[in-house]
Structure 1
């Protein structure tokens, strides 16, 4: 029988997700005033693509390392028919962009929409099959797990499983084992191959879930964590002992929901900021919560245990987020920081690593949850712009020496997130490549660039030409191949 606490939570959830709230929000959305200028995230460099393309035998400048055999796949918003009055960068229809690399060649580029209900209706194609949850727009992140590629989003939808060519898609709640929503940022334990995920829902402001997905793609463990106000938890981190839970003051705003805006989260000064250390096989009652000054984190780089029982957490930190504009992230990060969490004293020591504005940190994922030396992050323009993007370098941090290196992409070129790919399974940390898309600001072309992680300031090892503009997106991943680079060549 459900406890009184569980029944109270379920009543709150029903109120937020109910038809009355939904009806008021839809009515007010229809009454939002028109914009007095073009939407900066739907025009210019962000102009959505209107076609799905298949391009083969791509031109390459330089030499693609023969060790690379797989796909670089990135996802981001590419709305089919956005309403500029309510559009938010985090809510646009998802589109996958993939490049297949093998044998020193770039075999193909493909872009494919995630076939949600709305996308399918707008394009008059069948929707991807499979179970839905809350909503079905998936647009934020990509990973490879249990033999498949997965497109991910947080706050509601089940993940979408996709095939080698991005064509075959299916909404998949891990074979019916996922209780509710998933996350855009699961963390893979390199020792076990399991995924660790902190999952929240926009319709469930009283709880989040910690889910563990085994290597076969089944949820083997789920822990419900009570929270207040519906915090947005975009990322998490793991160590060998803990899952790090970031409960920070960006929370669900019923006022924003009822007003009809597309993204329902706002800065909440009344929500206490805290970091939780959840033992990996423990329950919610075992979490050690540590208070800290109000701040926000979209992304962690890594975390690990210290011998004295403390935990190191490296993050990109902000003073606040979505306190004003609600079209897209509206604050510059204060930099790359190291937080040392002491579960005995309940304190968090915060110190800067680099004050430069940067985001989208990545590491050699074989070091996830372990002591590590190198982190990579995308620099940001010194001044925040309406388009969110601009000319900025890729940054490599040597955390042992306290130094950094920069890779400049050149005038008029705008980079997105880069991911690290090791040269071999047993290669040293930092012995590999960094891959990511770079856009020509004039809109004529893009490139998938391959950089030598050990010589970041050098010219790219290879640059694969994509003869059109790929709009800025969010997260990508390297999906290692298990087979030859063959398949259909459909346009």
Structure 2
């Protein structure tokens, strides 16, 4: 039986390209001066289709440089971690490396950073996407980072929640200043080692997702040990993980033995609670309040904001995760839901905003943590299938418009870029990669966010495999 995450446009590309002066259909907005970059799994080594998990492949960043209405270059580069090269140490000062930095790519403090969650090493890239090396923010944040930091639009600081199985019952909240150094680190006790893929941020609160996908000692033992040692290893990991800090020699051993193309060591755990935590942004773990929700899983929030004595939280909600499909996120339709947290009543009101199957939510991030009107997601054919349309949600009118990219096209995340710093919320472009099945190549597609009409398409020399997160990094 084949693995769908190794077929079609999930399959890795095998060549790195450098192409200049790309062909463009339509007109590129002349004010766009910067790079659109996107990260995703692209395994380098031989694979076992039975165990390969989509989240585990080596990272490859794809980028297009735009300036003066031209597409100056396209480059795709593997993130050259120790797992993506020959030799090298597995443990870096920036964190444990269990698999490649394959999930997100951002710009901050003059750096371009390829990110991965789980407290593993993130990597700095240069302007042309070549790997510089692991990054620990000038030594101020050792022990790894996350795939999903959020930038406060007022201060420019990066906020993040980092989970790592080796820290015992601790997750870490951190704030990275505009100088690229950590100014605040808070340890937060969380039982059971949940997979905290993302979090949300309001003007007042850090919003944590403690949901029933947790570290799986049985799978970790199967990935790292010969068969006779798997059961005792599982017992040791079960006794340690989630209760105390796992000694560095054990985490190092797991890092050395775990293959970057193995199955993800996490699974649905119906015994784990489903709850949302609110911690004041300048508070501590003692100030954290928990609110129960119906069991589900959330990879990504759309946005969150404070409104009187409530916190409004819009999320893409999966009914469950990693139950029947252990190789990818394919457990039924994921819908856009609203959770309204009533601070006085101590309860959460859950409602459905849109029932399309969808993922990869984005907003105009100048409104991150503030009330927004519009949100953009990618309609998926099902579970982990690639997107067929871009969905534009008007959260005030309660309407959703689906814009097809073409019957023979597949796309992943589209991001919003305003036309000017003071432009209105919907005055900008949406951009992302779309794969054209007949030609076997991808384009960088730009849509007018207001009309959802195509503005331009930059034609690439190869395909961009279905991947995860990207961002527009303007020229400083």
TM-score, normalisation: structure 1: 0.86
1:222 aligns to 2:185 (yes or no) = yes
Deviation at 1:439? Answer: 0.2
2:52 paired residue among 74, 87, 98? 87
Q: 2:95 aligns with which of 120, 133, 139?
A: 133
Provide the secondary structure at the position in 2 that maps to 1:191. Answer: coil
Cα distance in 2 between the residues matched to 1:333 and 1:44:
21
Q: Deviations over 1:104-150 (max 9, x none)?
A: 0000000000011121218xxx8999634221620000111101211
Q: Which residue of 2 aligns with 1:363?
A: 363
Counterpart-to-counterpart distance in 2, 1:127 and 1:442:
42
- Tell me which residue corresponds to 1:57: 21
CA distance in 2, matches of 1:311, 1:149: 32
Aligned to 2:277: 276
1:165-314 equivalences in 2 (<5 Å): 165-260=128-223, 262-307=263-308, 309-314=309-314
1:5-41 CA distance string (max 9 Å, x none)? xxxxxxxxxxxxxxxxxxxxxxxxxxxxxxxx33322
Conserved 8 A contact 1:391-1:412: no
1:115 touches 1:127 (CA, 8 Å); kept in 2?
A: no
State which drifts further: 186-195 or 333-342. Answer: 333-342
Offset, 1:179:
4.0
Q: CA deviation at 1:390?
A: 4.2
Distance change >3 Å, CA 98–CA 287, structure 1 → 2: same
Query: What secondary structure, in the 3-state scheme, does the structure 2 residue paired with 1:350 have?
Result: strand
Q: Find the residue that maps to 2:85 and give its secondary structure.
A: helix
- What's 1:38 paired with? 2
The gaps in structure 1 that reach 5 residues or longer are 1-36, 483-491
Superposed CA offset, 1:163-184 (max 9, x none): 1111242211011111422111
Q: Distance in 2 between matches of 1:127 and 1:481?
A: 34
The alignment of Structure 1 onto Structure 2 pairs a total of residues equal to 436
Between stretches 210-219 and 113-122, larger displacement belongs to: 113-122
1:451 alignment counterpart: 447
Partner of 2:354: 354
8 Å Cα contact 1:49-1:78 kept in structure 2:
yes
Other-structure match for 1:109? 74
Contact kept, 8 Å, 2:431 with 2:444, in 1: the verdict is yes
Per-residue CA distance 1:399-437 (angstroms, 9 max, x = gap): 111112221111211011000000011111010000000
1:397 to 393, 397, 400: 393
TM-score (norm 2): 0.89
Q: Which residue of structure 1 lines up, in the alignment, with residue 258 of structure 2?
A: none
Alpha-carbon RMSD: 1.7
- Per the TM alignment, residue 316 of structure 1 is displaced from its structure 2 partner at its CA by 0.3
1:258 aligns to what SS in structure 2?
A: helix
Q: Indicate conservation of the 8 Å contact 2:200/2:207, yes or no.
A: yes
Worse overlay, 441-450 or 296-305: 441-450
Moved more, 90-99 or 259-268: 259-268
Change over 3 Å in CA distance of 1:57–1:355 after alignment to 2: same
Structure 2 gap ranges (5+) = 224-261
Note if 1:321 corresponds to 2:285.
Answer: no
Match of 2:238 in 1: none
Q: Give the CA deviation at 1:291.
A: 1.3
CA contact (8 A) 2:41 2:57 kept: yes
Give the structure 2 partner of residue 409 of structure 1. 405
Contact 1:415/1:436, CA 8 A, preserved across alignment? yes
Equivalent of residue 465 in structure 1, options 443, 459, 462: 459
Change (3 A) 1:466 1:128: farther
User: C-alpha offsets along residues 337-361 of structure 1, whole Å, 9 cap, x if unaligned?
Assistant: 1110122222111111101111000
Of 390-399 and 446-455, deviating more is 390-399
Q: Residue in 2 aligned with 1:480?
A: 474
Q: Distance in 2 between matches of 1:44 and 1:205?
A: 39
In the TM superposition, residue 259 of structure 1 has moved relative to its aligned partner by: 2.2
Partner of 1:100: 65
Q: How big is the shift at 1:332?
A: 2.5
d(CA) in 2 for partners of 1:110, 1:185: 23
